[in-house]
Structures are given as structure tokens and as C-alpha cells.
Amino acid sequence: MKFLFVGTNPENTGGATHFVALAQALVEVGHSVDVVAYPGGLIAKELAHSEVRLYGATFRNAYDLRGYAKVMAAAKQSKPDWLVGNFGKEYWPLIVMGRLLGVPVALFRHRTPPMKRLSAYLIPRLAQRFFAVSNYARQAYLDRGVPAGLVRVLYNPVNLARCRPDARKRGATLQSLGIDDEAIVLGYSGRMHGGKGIFTLLEAATAAMAEEPRLHCLWVGDGPEAQDLRARVAAGPVATRHHFLGWTHDVSPYYSAMSMLAFPSIAPETFGRVSIEAQASGVPVLASNVGGVPETLRPDVTGVLLPPGDADAWRRAILKMCNASFQRPMAEAARLYVQEHFSTAVIADEFVKILADH
């Protein structure tokens, strides 16, 4: 099957990461994928050395005629069986071009509503396939009156070759951070703002450190409240056991250094890619029981679901995960769980089956 993916968003977002992973997954299982992407953006950089053919273009908005012209030219050259879009500003252009070219359109929505009311009503009905990235996100569209048969669910795929346990990488990473090999490392990866639960996690981790001297916390990411978080750590009693890496394009090397990953969001998340990436790396997850996050793990097998914002419950869970007899079976189960449910081969196969389903 031939696909033309259109994703001209230049930013590093979960939607962009999903776009790249799905395109790569389809290529891995033998499909042909061409991509229209923002020149020099994350998507173009990630796919530059793959078997994907790249076309450069931008869509400033749904009325950008230059964007239409570039996509139409790419479609006439590649002759795709499906047009695939991931970003809201390209929904209407792809629907229009799909009609003009006689090519069906599959659209992904990575956020829960609202879209503008007219778009929220029409887009799932006009696209030949409309996907949410979790059952939680799907339900938000059903609650807005979209017929159940029009909203499918396809989870984010994870590249198991990139995210995998690596003892040597763990040792090298810990050494580079000045952390002892015997340390227990609690990891966080994501944007740093209050809705992500970072201050709940800081309170819980600091309290757990008072009881567990081997415990360190690794913070990967940046955001509007990163400076506040760092200031609170610096003023606390165990500042030297908190390690800040800032934003990094590729988090996968750091998963191997983690003993557990925290996903402490207070605000609902549509999914939670870092959760499945960590589990693919053999890292169990402590996750808030909110939004689509519970769909990313097998509770009490590959991780633990916790009440969002409850620092004491998080403290107790962190300390429990510090016990090797509790942590190791979850670590061993985590990668197998991802392999069965979120691997590139599984998700690519499910995607093609849904497209073929009449």
C-alpha cells in the first residue's frame, strides 16, 4: 500500500513523534511511504535517513495555496492509496485535496475537543477514517455527538530497537551524571509545568529520599515552570540527588538509567507516549490514574496507577518500587507488554486493517 503523510508542523510535539513512528512502522512492514514535511523540522530530520521520500512544504493555515500546490504535486508524483494527516491546520486541506484527487483521507487527532464546532461535526464525517489515540480521547468525540463508528482508536507505536534495556548504557549514563551504580533512579520526562504534576512528584520524591538514601531523581525536559522547580530543589534538603538534563531531542538513552518512570500528571492526558517508551526499555511506570494514561500500562503488572496530586500516595509507591522484589518482575513484564500492544509491527498491522475495513 502507498501512503502520503502530510505533516508540516515544525514543532517537537507528541503528534510529530507519532507521525514519525507510524511512518517508520509502515515502511518496516513493507509499505511505501512519502512524506510532506516542514523543511528542517523534527519530522524531516527524523526521516531524513530512512526509506521515506521527503517533500518540503509548509501550511500556514487552511487557506495557504502554496501548501496545497506542494501537496498536490507530491500526490501526483507518488500516487498514494491514502493521504494521512496528523495536525489540525491540515485537516480541511487534506479533505479538499482527497476529493480532488479521488484519494481517501485518514486523519489523527491527538487532542480531545474542542475543535471549532463546525469542524468537530464535519471532519470525522468527511474523512474516510478518523482516529483518536486512546479510548479516552475517542469518548470525548462521542460525547460531542460524533457517531461511534466514525472514531477509531490507534495507539502510538514504539520503536523497540530504539527503546530497549541496555545495562552498558545505564552504567555510562549514571557515570556521566555522577550517580553511583547502585543508585535507584526515579525518572521524569516531559514538559515542566504544574499540570504535569511536577511539584507533586518533587514533594513525594524528596520525602522518599529521606527514607531511601540510594534514591536519586532524574528530570528530563523543560517548560515554563522549570526554573521554579529547580529553585525549589535547590532550597530543599537533598538537592544533590536531583539531576536536571533540560530538554533533549532523544530521551531513549536515559530510560536505561531509570529504575522507574513517574508520569504524575494532574491534568488529563490524551495518551502518554513516555510511559510506553519507558516500559519498552524495561522500566516500570508510576502513573496518574487520569485521562488516557491508564491505557498505557497494565496496572500492578507493568506499573502502578496512583491518584493524581496525592503526594503521600506517590511517596509510598516510590518507596515500594525501590524494593527489587517488587520492581524487577514489573521491569521484566514491561517490555513484553509493549511488544504485544504497541510495537511498530502491531500498530502498523492494525492501521492497515482499519483502513481496509469497509
CATH classification (class only), 2-157+343-356: alpha beta
Distances (CA, A) of 122 to 97, 115, 146: 16, 11, 9
3-state SS, one letter per residue, for 125-137: HHCCEEEECCHHH
**CA–CA separation, 165 and 332 (whole Å):** 10
Place of cell 511536577: 198
Contact 275, 297 (CB under 8 A): yes
User: How confident is the prediction along the chain (358 residues), in pLDDT tens digits per residue?
Assistant: 999 999 998 877 778 888 999 999 999 999 999 999 999 888 999 899 889 999 999 888 888 899 999 999 999 999 999 999 998 889 999 999 999 999 999 999 988 876 888 888 899 999 999 999 999 999 999 998 899 999 999 999 998 988 999 989 999 999 999 999 999 999 999 999 999 999 999 999 999 999 999 999 999 999 999 999 999 999 999 999 999 999 987 898 899 999 999 999 999 999 999 999 999 999 999 999 999 999 999 999 999 999 999 999 999 999 999 999 999 999 999 999 999 999 999 999 999 999 998 7
C-alpha span between 95 and 6 (Å, rounded): 12
pLDDT for the residue 10 = 81
Percent above pLDDT 90 for the chain: 82
155: its cell numbers? 495507539
> Where are the domain boundaries for CATH 3.40.50.2000 in the chain?
2-157+343-356, 167-341
Backbone angles phi, psi at 7, to 5 degrees: -150, 90
Domain 167-341 listed as CATH 3.10.20.30: no
Return d(Cα 225, Cα 164) in angstroms, integer: 30
Instruction: Tell me the per-residue pLDDT of 303-333, one tens digit each, with 9 for 90 and over.
Output: 999 999 999 999 999 999 999 999 999 999 9
Please tell me whether the overall predicted TM-score, pTM, comes out greater than 0.95 for this model: no
> Tens of pLDDT along 121-169?
899 999 999 999 999 999 999 998 899 999 999 999 998 988 999 989 9
Cell numbers describing residue 50: 530512512
- pLDDT attached to residue 319: 98
Residue 260: closest CA among 244, 273, 245, 275:
275
Residue in 81, 36, 87 with CA at minimum distance from that of residue 61: 87
Question: Per the structure block, which three cell numbers stand in for 28?
Answer: 518496516
Give the pLDDT score at 37: 94
